[in-house]
Amino acid sequence: MKKTGLLMSDSFLEHDTGEFHPETSKRLISIQNLFKTKSYISSLPGYSPRPATEEEILRIHNSSHLKKIQSIQGRSGYLDGDTPFSPGSVNAAFLAAGSGPVLADAIHRGEIENAFAIVRPPGHHAEKSHAMGFCMFNNVAITARYLQTLGYNRIFILDWDVHHGNGTETAFYSDPDIFFLSLHQYPFYPGSGSELDRGEGEGLGKNLNIPMPRGSGDSEYKLAFEKLVLPSLESFEPDFILISAGFDAHGMDPLGGLELSTKGFEFMSFEVCKKAKEICGGRIISFLEGGYDLFALAESAEVHLSVLSDN
């Protein structure tokens, strides 16, 4: 078995989005309950998050966004139409943003080879200047910049959440050292993610959107992996791979309109792990993004973890 770090925290349950919101703490409880039934998981090295520092957050977000999030500490309300917050949300958001750096340090020290951060709020819709789409800070983007401070210069971000990772795309759109690849339902929320958007300036060619028509499933994703995802990984030769692992492209998901099976997530996880071993010493940090069917989410997250850990 490979050494895989697992980061979870009950503090993420304190981000209370209300009774009827799909991005609920029940998602993490469902994952935790399934994980408790798998004996291999209890032997994985466990990690706890720390709050991201202001410096780490300001590499991706502007100071008005940081101040806005700090200003809602201890309160309840809405940051945008679908991003509610509660008294525990600010702490959870800072911890979610600091989770990647904790795991990056552990991989850098050689304690573990890869890791899975089971965080909320999710991050990939969060833009430089504002929260959006259930996301407060862009957890994966903050981690990419943190990795660069450790000397991992070339980062490949793979986003297979059913929604386009608009915030991550804009953060690195002109950056030649950070490749952003997103597979997502299209057209769909948030509206961005056209295959014509390939990056700009020095980053031209380092952004790849793979739009999936409604109803696409395992065979379409397999084809996209063979034709586009794996060749992009191979030619970019990253030092590190980050995954925005949403599980809302699952056929059972109530928000998404795609038809991936749990086996489909197993296939993608397996192919990325295999490629990572060949090109970047197996270094991967995966982040939970979306996934709103409690059963499909837990099952897919467990399969993802079992592949990461070679179980």
The residue written with tokens 């430089």 in the block is: 128
CA distance 234 to 223: 16
Interacting stretch for Zn ion, rule CB under 5 A, among 30-38, 69-77, 156-164, 271-279? 156-164
Residue 5 Cβ vs Zn ion, minimum distance, rounded to whole Å: 24
Residue 10 beta carbon to Zn ion: minimum distance, rounded to whole angstroms: 23
Q: Which is nearer to Zn ion, 179 or 292 (CB)?
A: 292
Contacts 24+ apart (CB under 8 A), 301-304: 301/31, 301/34, 301/116, 301/118, 301/245, 301/247, 302/31, 302/34, 302/35, 302/38, 302/41, 303/262, 303/265, 303/266, 303/269, 304/116, 304/245, 304/247, 304/265, 304/266, 304/269
Tokens of 237: 């030769």
Number of H helices, E strands in the chain: 11, 10
Q: Is 51 in the site for Zn ion (CB under 5 A)?
A: no
Count of residues that bind Zn ion according to CB under 5 A: 5
Nearer to Zn ion, 238 or 246 (CB): 246
For Zn ion, the closer of residues 66 and 294 by Cβ is 294
Closest contact distance (angstroms) between CB of 177 and Zn ion is: 26
Name which of residues 227 to 246 contact Zn ion (CB under 5 A).
Answer: 246
- Stated as kind and residue range, the H or E segment containing 184 is strand 178-185
- Candidates 15, 61, 65, 125; catalytic one: 125
Whether 125 sits among the annotated catalytic residues: the reply is yes
Residue with tokens 């995966």: 286
Cβ proximity to Zn ion, 161 vs 175, nearer residue: 161
- Closest CB to Zn ion among residues 47, 186: 186
Which residue's Cβ has the minimum distance to Zn ion? 290
* 114, 270 Cβ separation under 8 angstroms: no
Contacts of 310 (CB under 8 A, 6+ apart): 1, 2, 4, 273
Cβ proximity to Zn ion: between 22 and 205 the closer is 22
What secondary structure letter does DSSP report for 284? E
Residue 124 binding Zn ion, by CB under 5 A: no
161 binds Zn ion (CB under 5 A): yes
Is residue 248 involved in binding Zn ion (CB under 5 A)? yes
Q: Does 133 bind Zn ion (CB under 5 A)?
A: no
Select from 130, 163, 275, 304 the one that contacts Zn ion (CB under 5 A).
163
According to CB under 5 A, which residues from 279 to 298 bind Zn ion? 290
For the CB of residue 244, give the shortest distance to Zn ion in the complex, in Å. Answer: 9
At residue 147, what are phi and psi to the nearest 5 degrees?
-60, -35
Residue 108 CB, nearest approach to Zn ion (Å): 29
List the end-to-end C-alpha distance of the chain, in Å, as a whole number: 6
CB 97 within 8 A of CB 54: no
Residues of this chain that interact with Zn ion (CB under 5 A) are 161, 163, 246, 248, 290
Which of the residues are catalytic? 125
